[in-house]
């Protein structure tokens, strides 16, 4: 069996680059991504889904191999837990950063802290998860650091 790699943030700048590298190595890994079901995300994944189905139709891989796209939301624990089931490793490149984070602080908190907590808890909930499932998380101060309130940004100190 190939290791099952779960990627969060596959539609973002860093996450999509990570996805493309995993995709190039799909013979080595089963790739799982959790993405919001937006029109843009569906268009982004369409060629990969199509190729993965072709591989399965040609019996090059089981139907679940190459790529599994879970349409959901990382701010909902049930979606995160579903993505992490059976994982061997989790890569998190998901972030909601400036400038949008400055205008939508509640969304930034949900994505940058609550969703990350869901990932950690879902890993721990798997049999032997804390010991067995590797987690790589990327982040920056733009996610959770000392951010000025929007009104100070707009009006000055």
Q: If you ran DSSP here, which 8-state letter would residue 119 be given?
A: H
Does residue 80 contact residue 120 with C-beta atoms inside 8 Å? no
How does pLDDT run across 63-108, given as a tens digit for each residue?
A: 456 899 999 999 999 999 999 999 999 999 999 888 788 888 898 8
Could you give the residue ranges of the DSSP H alpha helices within the chain? 13-24, 39-57, 77-84, 100-103, 105-109, 115-125, 129-132, 141-144, 150-155
What mean pLDDT is reported for the chain? 86
Residue 42: CB atoms within 10 Å: 15
Ranking 51-55, 118-122, 130-134, 151-155 by mean pLDDT, the lowest is 151-155
How does pLDDT run across 49-61, given as a tens digit for each residue?
A: 888 865 555 544 4
**Per-range mean pLDDT, top range of 1-5, 49-53, 118-122, 151-155:** 118-122
Phi-psi region of 150 (alpha: psi -120 to 50; beta: other; left: phi over 0): alpha
* Amino acid 139: pLDDT: 78
pLDDT-derived band of residue 28, with 50, 70 and 90 as boundaries? very high
| pLDDT of 4 higher than 90 | yes
């Amino acid at each position: 069996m190939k290791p099952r790699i779960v990627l969060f943030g596959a539609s973002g700048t860093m996450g999509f680059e990570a996805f493309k590298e995993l995709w190039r190595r799909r013979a080595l890994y089963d790739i799982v991504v959790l993405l919001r079901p937006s029109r843009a995300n569906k268009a982004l994944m369409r060629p990969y889904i199509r190729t993965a189905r072709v591989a399965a139709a040609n019996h090059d891989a089981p139907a679940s191999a190459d790529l599994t796209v879970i349409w959901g939301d990382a701010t909902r624990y049930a979606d995160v837990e579903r993505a992490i089931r059976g994982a061997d490793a989790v890569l998190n490149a998901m972030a909601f950063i400036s400038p949008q984070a400055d205008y939508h602080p509640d969304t930034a908190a949900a994505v940058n802290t609550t969703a990350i907590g869901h990932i950690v808890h879902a890993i721990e909930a798997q049999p032997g998860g804390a010991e067995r499932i590797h987690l790589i998380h990327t982040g920056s101060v733009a996610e959770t650091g000392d951010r000025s309130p929007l009104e100070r940004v707009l009006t000055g100190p």
